Amino acid sequence: MLVDRQNFSTHFDVSRETLERLNEYERLLTKWNTKINLVSRNTLDEVWHRHFADSAQIYQYIDRTATNWLDFGSGAGFPGLIAAVLAQEQRPGMTFKLVESDKRKAAFLMTVSNALGLSAEVVTDRIEALPAQYSDVISARAVAPLHQLLTWATPHAQKSSVLLFPKGNNYESELTNARKHWHIESETFPSITDSGSVILRIRDIKRVD
């Protein structure tokens, strides 16, 4: 199913105000993408499906008690900033921290966050340099293999933390490789934007080597 501007509201049960924020997000993304490479130009015509819906779909897998969210390698804001847009309406007390080492991309994230009035802090640094965050939710999209993501996440996760990673059709091999080094509790959920992709939900990570 193609999720576009017309059916996004129905699919994700969001208000007109949230749609207006996403319209502004799209406008800023299109404007900035002419100057810096935020997303592939051939995906701009399907931004609501390829980027907005692909990011928004992970929001349903967080715990009800979650109050803070950490997003690695945020780039153009997917999935972290999209989740912040949804939370603005549904969980107004939730805070977001977006980690992006590229200063130009970080400037874009700050511009969008300020324009939309989001509770999001942008950290312009490498993930490895970030002090422990004790985050309820940790996410990353198209940043690194699962083993590396778990290495980055461990200093910031609590026992109750939920890790959400959209992955492509090689996710099984990534899980197999990660389990050589980690004990994890994992679940997979089908992606609504790509039949070969999944969302990995991971809890209780512990190193085994």
Residue 77 lies in a domain: yes
For 114-138, how does the pLDDT look when each residue is reduced to its tens digit (9 = 90+)?
999 999 999 999 999 999 999 999 9
Rounded Cα–Cα distance for residues 191 and 198 (Å) = 5
**Tell me, what's the pLDDT at 116?**
97
In one-letter notation, the amino acid at residue 97 is: K
pLDDT (mean) for 131-158: 96
Residue 113 lies in a domain: yes
Q: Residue 94: give its domain's CATH number.
A: 3.40.50.150
136 neighbors 160 (Cβ within 8 angstroms): yes
Residue 169 has which token pair? 């059709």
> In total, how many domains does the chain have?
1
Task: Report residue 42's pLDDT band, with 50, 70 and 90 as the boundaries.
Answer: confident
Task: Report residue 108's pLDDT band, with 50, 70 and 90 as the boundaries.
Answer: very high
Q: What is the pTM of this model?
A: 0.95
Q: State the distance between the two ends of the chain, measured CA to CA, in whole angstroms.
A: 42
45 secondary structure, DSSP code: G
Residue 3 lies in a domain: no
175 neighbors 191 (Cβ within 8 angstroms): no
Q: What is the extent of the structural domain holding 21?
A: 8-207
Rounded Cα–Cα distance for residues 21 and 25 (Å) = 6
| Residue 1 clears pLDDT 90, i.e. is over it | no
Residue 2 lies in a domain: no
